[in-house]
Structure 1
């Protein structure tokens, strides 16, 4: 069931990205973006699937207590008394309204209707934030942090995915970059600040959290931010330079690559948010991450803490990381397939991850 919950959360975030990015781009005048051809049924399907994917955690909770109460009674209790159930009720109502408005919209370019459905999309994100672990632990800080985090990353990912996969040309690309680069920077800052807020709520110590699965997911997610920022700079600066020299240069593959890395971060977010947060006395034998145990299999208890050190092996991995960065730059210069560049980026993340893990000293 845990795997199903994780998959549902990844797909839920993708639905939000399609809705937020797609509707935002429809509000942008056509002279400030490439031509976008996205069928209305993408929005309709995303709207319909939001309450379905959001229901999976509700079902998980229901199945947990069903052996004592029976499934029907357990579902009633969860929907009426549990936060995750109450939040889902509002998710369902908001999704129904969103579907109705999309069906009744005469034109996807109508600014008033588009603004309304975009506002409803953010309202649905708020219901998801309400049902989150952070929202349950500290309602104001948790819900605020989760909502800002989800909204910022949905806008960034959504615009990148929609432009990357639904743009019919790269007309007005420099004009598009002029405003989207600022939006992406704003989303990155908002994601970072809200992430710090969420960690303050859910994590007692960042490095200590690496000993459990939640912290491992958090670490891997943060490591993928390195190539993400790199590709964001690539799309904002290098692509702009190439276009200024060659109007026929096609920048769409590179924004697709940025979208792929963002999707990986989405997946990692869905993974670690379903793990028990490292808060309080959490270091039991069952809680220790299998990944952490691969590198540190000694005795770990509730008093254990994580420290960092430097040795010769770390120096080797550091220079290997520099080599991989050079390979990424070479693949870009040679205009290699985005698959090749992405695989090298994954190797870079794996290399840095191993470098961090072998630098850990458990006290």
Structure 2
């Protein structure tokens, strides 16, 4: 249910953004649009309903566990949880957009002002993302990623499915091509940034369902980029000479196909939101099963010190060559008068060959780490020093003591405290600081009665430990 809700939300928000971007563009710089009057209100209702569904499900589950009234739990979910706070802010910005539309009736430059509250809607949507729960940088990357993806897709969807006539396509491509290139660059940069936070072990993540879906998403992105190249350069060049441009409906149909591929990416992204993110793959596999395809083609497990590596072999090289050839045919089919349905065939073939190329060359190998002779190989010990009981509102100093052979470890590479509780699936990540004698600390305040879990992620001297400490927080 959540996957469907997220998919519909992404599509509705993309359409909503696309309408407002194109309305801010001069009429002679885009194809003539025929947008039904009911579409914007319908999109608004869809966005509210489908963004509320995950909150309602969380509140329902929490109420069933705690035996508290649903309305009471729902109120807490809306105003105390990140996902609820984001929803409230999202609705507020949506109302501002419609008030602005009423104020700025008719065409004009003022329409571009509506993009500001729409940006607020994106900021609110990203507030409860997994990347945002990890760090402020993760939130920024998620905002950039979401903004570029929705803006690019929204313009394509509206221009291709709601345009009439064949006028102004050349002028449309003149501004849309640099716009699309900018969005692609933002997607690429923000995507790399999010990978650093969510999937630092990229190839290892292929063993998990999350990594498999992420790989599919990235493979889909490649033909989308080539789609943009063909539209922005080859097709635009053909539009300059009407005598060569035999099929006048081709830009719209071809853009529709590109839009559909982007919508498929939205579906994959929605599925990923319900998968376990692979921060530490070997540890994630302790409570998550290996993906079915990965277990057949790579391995059934991943031990500490092992890593999934891709190494070229003859079958993989041949398949890679086939994938590149398919992309070349794909570009040719878009830039010429070939039937528009050739493109999805080439995309499907590329996905299959590209995926098989990566899976055939992937294998688990043991990574030998250089260990200085004077560095002990004995395991590090991580002990949480906090009590197991606390009171709502308490200002706590989260503490862990790190030792090795009863000697304080004062040179840890990375210390992060992860905190979550039973009523909130979103965890909070807090950087720890060394205060001396192997003690690492971070400040935290318990805001509601629940069972909290404190999990320090400790990396030191080539080892990683992440014990879980339970704290019962009660009201006085």
Instruction: Name the TM-score, length of structure 1 as normaliser.
Output: 0.90
Q: CA deviation at 1:287?
A: 4.0
1:239 — aligned with what?
Answer: 235
Question: 1:58 & 1:86 partners in 2: Cα distance?
Answer: 10
Kept after mapping to 1: 8 A contact 2:310/2:361: yes
1:270-304 deviations in whole A, cap 9, x for unaligned?
A: 22133221114322252422232231343334544
Q: Which has the higher strand share?
A: 2
Say whether 1:77 aligns with 2:76: yes
Say whether 1:294 aligns with 2:296: yes
Say whether 1:207 aligns with 2:209: no
Say whether 1:324 aligns with 2:326: yes
Greater shift after overlay, 36-45 or 317-326? 317-326
Greater shift after overlay, 49-58 or 219-228? 49-58
Question: 2:54 & 2:197 partners in 1: Cα distance?
Answer: 21
Number of equivalent positions? 357
Kept after mapping to 2: 8 A contact 1:48/1:99: no
Q: CA deviation at 1:106?
A: 7.2
Correspondence 1:59-74 to 2 at 5 A: 59-70=56-67, 71-74=70-73
Task: Name the CA shift for 1:297/1:17 in 2 (closer, same or farther; >3 Å).
Answer: same
Task: Name the CA shift for 1:63/1:290 in 2 (closer, same or farther; >3 Å).
Answer: farther
Q: Which has the higher helix share?
A: 1
Q: CA deviation at 1:57?
A: 2.1
2:161 — aligned with what?
Answer: 165
Kept after mapping to 2: 8 A contact 1:142/1:198: yes
- Structure 2, unmatched stretches of 5+, are 366-476
Which of structures 1 and 2 has the larger relative contact order (alpha carbons within 8 angstroms, sep 6+)? 1
Q: Secondary structure at the match of 1:204?
A: coil
> Aligned-residue CA RMSD in angstroms?
2.2
Question: 2:335 & 2:149 partners in 1: Cα distance?
Answer: 29
Kept after mapping to 1: 8 A contact 2:97/2:117: yes
- Structure 1, unmatched stretches of 5+, are none
Task: Name the CA shift for 1:136/1:28 in 2 (closer, same or farther; >3 Å).
Answer: same
2:447 — aligned with what?
Answer: none
Q: Secondary structure at the match of 2:284?
A: coil
Say whether 1:58 aligns with 2:67: no
2:122 — aligned with what?
Answer: 125
1:109 — aligned with what?
Answer: 107
Q: Secondary structure at the match of 2:277?
A: coil
Q: Secondary structure at the match of 1:40?
A: coil
User: Residue 14 of structure 2: which of 12, 17, 20 is its match?
Assistant: 17
Greater shift after overlay, 234-243 or 329-338? 329-338
1:199-237 deviations in whole A, cap 9, x for unaligned?
A: 122122221222212222221111111111111011011
Kept after mapping to 1: 8 A contact 2:18/2:153: yes
Correspondence 1:1-363 to 2 at 5 A: 4-70=1-67, 71-102=70-101, 104=102, 107=105, 109-112=107-110, 114-138=111-135, 140-246=136-242, 249-250=247-248, 251-280=251-280, 281-284=283-286, 286-329=288-331, 331-332=333-334, 335-363=337-365
Task: Name the CA shift for 1:105/1:292 in 2 (closer, same or farther; >3 Å).
Answer: farther
Question: 2:169 & 2:310 partners in 1: Cα distance?
Answer: 44
Instruction: Name the TM-score, length of structure 2 as normaliser.
Output: 0.70
1:149-173 deviations in whole A, cap 9, x for unaligned?
A: 1111111111111111111123222
Question: 2:138 & 2:355 partners in 1: Cα distance?
Answer: 28
Q: Secondary structure at the match of 1:338?
A: coil
Task: Name the CA shift for 1:32/1:217 in 2 (closer, same or farther; >3 Å).
Answer: same
Q: CA deviation at 1:353?
A: 0.7
Kept after mapping to 2: 8 A contact 1:308/1:359: yes
Question: 2:106 & 2:190 partners in 1: Cα distance?
Answer: 32
Question: 2:298 & 2:61 partners in 1: Cα distance?
Answer: 33
1:105-163 deviations in whole A, cap 9, x for unaligned?
A: 67452442x3343222211111111011111121x112211111111111111111111
Q: CA deviation at 1:31?
A: 1.6
